[in-house]
């Protein structure tokens, strides 16, 4: 698996990111390779950190795994749930999942991108959730019998982790808001309005949620907005 363009841009702009004295992206690629040997159908992996709030994503296909992370931040999903309740969440993107009210938008977005099953693993530093691994596979039930092995591979490598790079989060946020002001404002308003009606929130809250999701997932605001419009129309 290789880092997605958004992850590479973040690393170029705000990195290098070091974790326990080694390069984060190099370590992630090593872990992804070990996971793929156990689950060959695994097509993408991301790690979402809680402090700083940022996501690093690897993918082995053209599937935009980062956008799927973004959809979860907008409308909920197994990654967000795993972080909130500190439990491993396995999801098969089947007709049942597509029909289920919970995570319906995420399931639709995943299915349309060739993802058939997911696994979300919370990572703890003592009793505090410090991150979540999200894994995406192209076949149903890919992680059902392998979740324990995958968890063992990923292990406790996030425990006590402190990224030694200042993400300059205000700079990233300013860039995203600048993008909204320059060219995406109309479509952002459309997406925020659709999201407000779907989630019963204000349009302003919908707009903020879209901006936040794009920042956290490391995707462009334009891509995030387009994905949400496609899901809700």
Give domain limits for the chain: 2-154, 169-232
Q: How would DSSP label each residue in 68-123?
A: HHHHHHHH--HHHHHHHHT--EEEE-SHHHHHSSTTHHHHHHHHHTT--EEEEEEE
To which residue do tokens 């491993």 refer? Answer: 88
**DSSP conformation class of 62:** S
Percent of the chain with pLDDT over 70: 73
pLDDT in tens, 115-163: 888 888 887 766 677 778 888 888 888 888 888 888 888 874 544 333 3
pLDDT, residue 105, reads 85
Of 3.30.930.10, 3.30.70.20, 3.30.450.40, 3.20.20.70, which CATH number belongs to 2-154?
3.30.450.40
Evaluate whether 63 touches 114 at the Cβ level (below 8 Å). yes
pLDDT in tens, 19-61: 556 677 788 888 899 999 999 999 988 887 766 666 778 887 6
pLDDT in tens, 162-189: 333 344 444 455 555 555 555 577 788 8
Average pLDDT value for residue range 188-197: 90
Helix (H, G, I), strand (E, B) or coil at 138: coil
Helix 185-199 × helix 65-75 angle, to 10°: 50
Report pTM.
Answer: 0.75
């Amino acid at each position: 698996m290789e880092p997605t363009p958004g992850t590479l841009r973040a690393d170029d702009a705000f990195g290098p990111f070091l974790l326990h004295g080694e390069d984060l992206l190099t370590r992630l690629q090593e872990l992804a390779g070990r996971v793929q040997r156990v689950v060959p159908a695994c097509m993408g992996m991301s790690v979402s950190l809680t402090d700083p709030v940022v996501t690093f994503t690897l993918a082995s296909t053209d599937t935009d795994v980062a956008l799927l992370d973004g959809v979860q931040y907008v409308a909920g999903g197994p990654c967000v749930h795993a972080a909130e309740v500190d439990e491993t969440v396995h999801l098969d993107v089947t007709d049942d999942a597509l029909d289920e009210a919970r995570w319906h938008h995420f399931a639709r977005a995943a299915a349309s991108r060739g993802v058939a099953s997911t696994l979300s693993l919370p990572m703890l530093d003592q009793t505090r959730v410090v991150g979540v691994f999200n894994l995406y596979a192209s076949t149903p039930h890919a992680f059902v019998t392998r979740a324990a092995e995958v968890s063992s591979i990923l292990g406790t490598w996030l425990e006590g982790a402190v990224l030694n790079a200042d993400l300059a989060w205000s700079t990233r946020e300013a860039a995203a808001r600048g993008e909204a002001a320059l060219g995406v404002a109309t479509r952002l308003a459309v997406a925020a309005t659709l999201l407000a009606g779907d989630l019963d929130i204000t349009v302003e809250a919908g707009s903020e949620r879209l901006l936040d999701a794009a920042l956290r997932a490391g995707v462009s605001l334009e891509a995030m907005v387009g994905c949400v419009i496609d899901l809700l129309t």
